[in-house]
Amino acid sequence: MTENVDLLNNIEYMTDEKWQAIINNDPVYNHQFFYAVMTTGIFCKPSCKSRVPKKGNVRLFQSAEQALIANFRPCKRCKPTNERLPESEWVDQIIQYIDENYTEKLTLETLADICHGSPYHLQRTFKKISGITPIEYIQQIRINKAKNLLYHSNRTVADIALSVGIPNTSYFSTLYKKKTGTTPSQCRLLNEKKVGWQNGITD
């Protein structure tokens, strides 16, 4: 309890000077404070070259230790703890972000920016740890979510495609068939027949 109170007492407050340091990636401020982004759960040095976060999502700390105690993870790009984040842990961060944001437009560049790494390194490391590329994982998540909606809802194929982050229905159908062997419509029909057989209903 005392540790948490001390942590709260030591939280830094945002000033225009500190915000400018973050925007300008100013290394002069590296030993003065650290900033964390609440939407990603990652904390950085002021000099970090990652995309500038929304000001309202930023939380400041006097030390890396305080950010760690508050359950923020160190940025892989700027290494605020001066230690390398284990590759498997970094990939877990990326997977978590994809799982929570698969409905959004996601590219390799977007993921690299959000997860603080280069596109090349992210692609290479992700495949090394998981066995598939980030894009393949995104597709896998989207198709699995779509399949569940096809089985358990009456929503149109176009609506389902949009809801899983694929606004182009034609592309969605092509990708779905490539990944599952059937089109979305065929998949839904086959499932309805299967359910009918299980309930003792035949044509």
The CATH code that applies to domain 86-203 is 1.10.10.60
Q: What is the pLDDT of residue 75?
A: 87
Q: Which fold has domain 2-74?
A: DNA Methylphosphotriester Repair Domain (3.40.10)
Q: What is the pLDDT of residue 85?
A: 66
With b for 16 or more beta-carbon neighbours within 10 A and e for fewer, the 113-128 pattern comes to bbbbbeeeebbebbee
Q: Kind and range of the H or E element at 9?
A: helix 2-10
Does 115 participate in catalysis according to the annotation?
A: no
Nearest to 45 by CA among 30, 61, 62, 60: 30
Q: What is the pLDDT of residue 7?
A: 44
Which amino acid type is present at position 189? L
Residue in 44, 48, 75, 78 annotated catalytic: 44
Average pLDDT over residues 151-167: 94
pLDDT tens-digit series, residues 67-110 = 999 999 888 888 888 776 678 888 888 998 999 999 999 999 98
User: What pTM was computed for the model?
Assistant: 0.62
pLDDT tens-digit series, residues 15-36 = 889 999 999 988 888 888 999 9
Examine the pLDDT at 3 and tell me if it is beyond 80: no
Which two structure tokens, joined as six digits, stand for 125? 């490391």
- Which residue ranges make up each domain of the chain? 2-74, 86-203
Residue 203 confidence class, pLDDT cut points 50, 70, 90: very low
Residue 183 confidence class, pLDDT cut points 50, 70, 90: very high
C-alpha–C-alpha distance, residues 131 and 149, integer Å = 27
Residue 175 confidence class, pLDDT cut points 50, 70, 90: very high
Q: What is the pLDDT of residue 79?
A: 84
